[in-house]
Amino acid sequence: MTMPLMRPKRKNPVLRTRQMNLPPWARGRVALGITAGAAEGRFVLQTCEDCGTVQYPPREACHKCLSPRLHWREQSGEGELLSTTTLHHSNDLFFRERLPWRLGLVHLDAGPTLMVHLHGEVGDAPQRVRVGARLDRAGQAVLIGFPNEGSPHMADDKMLREMTSDPKFRKVLVTDGKTEVGQAMVRALVKAGADIVWVGHAEPWKKLGGLEDITALPQVTLVPLDLTNGRSVSELAGEIGGKVDIVINNAEVHRTFGIGARRGTDVAKAEMDINYFGLLRLAQEFGPALKGRSADGVTGATAWVNLLSIYALSNFPPHGTFSASKAAAHSLAQCLRAEMRPAGIRVVNVFPGPIDDEWNQHTPPPKLAPSALANAIVKALRDGVEDVYPGDVAQEWLERWRDNPKVLERELAAGGN
Q: Which domains does the chain have, with CATH numbers?
A: 32-163 (no CATH), 171-413 (3.40.50.720)
Torsion sign over Cα 187, 281, 329, 272: positive
Q: Burial level of 378, CB count in 10 A (0-12/13-18/19+)?
A: buried
* Count of beta carbons in the 10 Å neighbourhood of residue 415: 8
Order of all β-strands in the sheet with 70-74: 54-55, 44-48, 70-74
* Count of beta carbons in the 10 Å neighbourhood of residue 48: 20
| The model scores a pTM over 0.85 | yes
The rounded distance, in Å, linking the Cα atoms of 197 and 381 is 15
The rounded distance, in Å, linking the Cα atoms of 409 and 53 is 36
What local confidence, expressed as pLDDT, does residue 3 receive? 66
Collapsed DSSP state (helix, strand, coil) of residue 116: strand
What local confidence, expressed as pLDDT, does residue 184 receive? 96
Question: In which residue ranges of the chain is pLDDT below 50?
Answer: none
What local confidence, expressed as pLDDT, does residue 1 receive? 58
